[in-house]
Structure 1
């Protein structure tokens, strides 16, 4: 009988401690929000790819489909023109085929002016209003923002510029 009484007393004393632990757990946030990445200051393709993915993840609100990501390496990269030509062909084909409402299209590169040229060229044959409801991100220098914005506006995209300093 003494053992049973001691166990009951111990349980009664331990119960408030368990309740306090649960309150502390409830007060802790479920997920830690990471700070946005900063644009790479080098031409490292892996760093740029990670940065582009981070920016896209932070801009997925309202996006219902798989995003389209276009990355162009630095102009110093061997066979840069080959990369540029292939990416232009791919982006142009994707845009002419049609991007459905609710999707996101993102362009980023350490060579902002060349990426701007690529965006402008790939949107040249897109029908006016054909991309209404599609989000578009351009990651580049502010000097390229206005010309990209003017080139994509007729397509009807929801354009957002993100400066990479």
Structure 2
């Protein structure tokens, strides 16, 4: 069975890119809620969202932050990072802006780990590949992610135990 991970990401902007990552099937992630299911959880307020995060993250071996252009500005992503760090779960980032979402790629976003309180250095992997003209090649980016996702998932940083 594939390694079980929790994916943290900006839903509205990056859900199509996240589906590409999940479709690689190298890792087993939590279910990606459709927009109606997510709205149902959100209507329950902050307590319901925290419960969903805690329940989904509980038995995962690592937390992978899928970093798009606006990921670092999302409060729930920062919460998930801080929770993973406090729980001493291996934590890493993978840039996904170079994957195609409805035919377009995006620009790189800020480091979300820098915005999380008390979190140390966390590795960020970037599969983004450019063609000869300097444009992002989304197919080559996907293929690089496909070739490396499983090995990257075992290189997360954890909070020191001292």
Select the structure that is richer in helix: 1
- Under a length normalisation based on structure 2, what TM-score does the superposition of the two structures give? 0.37
Structure with the bigger RCO (C-alpha within 8 Å, sep 6+) is 2
- Under a length normalisation based on structure 1, what TM-score does the superposition of the two structures give? 0.36
Find the structure with the greater CA-based Rg.
1
